[in-house]
Amino acid sequence: MNNLVMGGLWFGEHKPVMGTFLKPFQEALSRLEIQGTTFQLPNKETIMSKVYLVSGIFDLPAKSLVLEEIQFNGFCGCSYCVEAGKSVKAKDGGQGQVHVYPFDDESETGHAERRTHKGTIANGMKSLEDPLGKPVSVSDKFLYFVSCLLWSVFTEKQVCLLCDTLDAEDNF
């Protein structure tokens, strides 16, 4: 494969904390994006080049850790739609259960409603409430505001504090 950079490989008894595990890789990529690097061509010309990460490939358990989402085999773990799924007993005398996302015959696509940016933000804000249903703190709202600003940088879309400027159909 061409143009492939391995950010890391993990093995061990416990899963890594992705913010810590990928921090050196993220810092190196940030330097290459901001400062760039110089190198000499075969004709002796020196040029400056900047590097931008355009995608990442992870197995599904690592993807859920990086995105801080529920793993694919948990309730509401589908990253495409809002289907909760269900747990069913394992077949062939197996012990335990498996989590499945059954095909929806009543849907045109076979999936539940697609996830949207607004819906994901609303669910995230709801999850920040305490068990008594009190609203999130000022510091949580500030973190949410910073997240919206970062979203606008990466997607080149304007996002206000409550995401009022994003279309409800705009998929995440």
Q: Give the pLDDT confidence score for residue 167 in this predicted structure.
A: 39
Q: Give the pLDDT confidence score for residue 162 in this predicted structure.
A: 43
The domain spans of the chain are 1-68, 70-115, 116-172
Q: Give the pLDDT confidence score for residue 48 in this predicted structure.
A: 92
Which of 118, 4, 130 has its CA nearest to residue 56?
Answer: 4
Contact 84, 76 (CB under 8 A): yes
- Give the H or E element holding residue 70: none
Site of tokens 């995105």: 67
- Whole-prediction pTM value? 0.53
Q: Give the pLDDT confidence score for residue 128 in this predicted structure.
A: 64
Structure token digits, residue 83: 């289907």
Q: Give the pLDDT confidence score for residue 112 in this predicted structure.
A: 86
**Secondary structure class of 64 (helix, strand, coil):** helix
pLDDT-flagged residues of the chain (< 50) = 159-172
Give dist(CA 104, CA 110) in Å, integer: 4
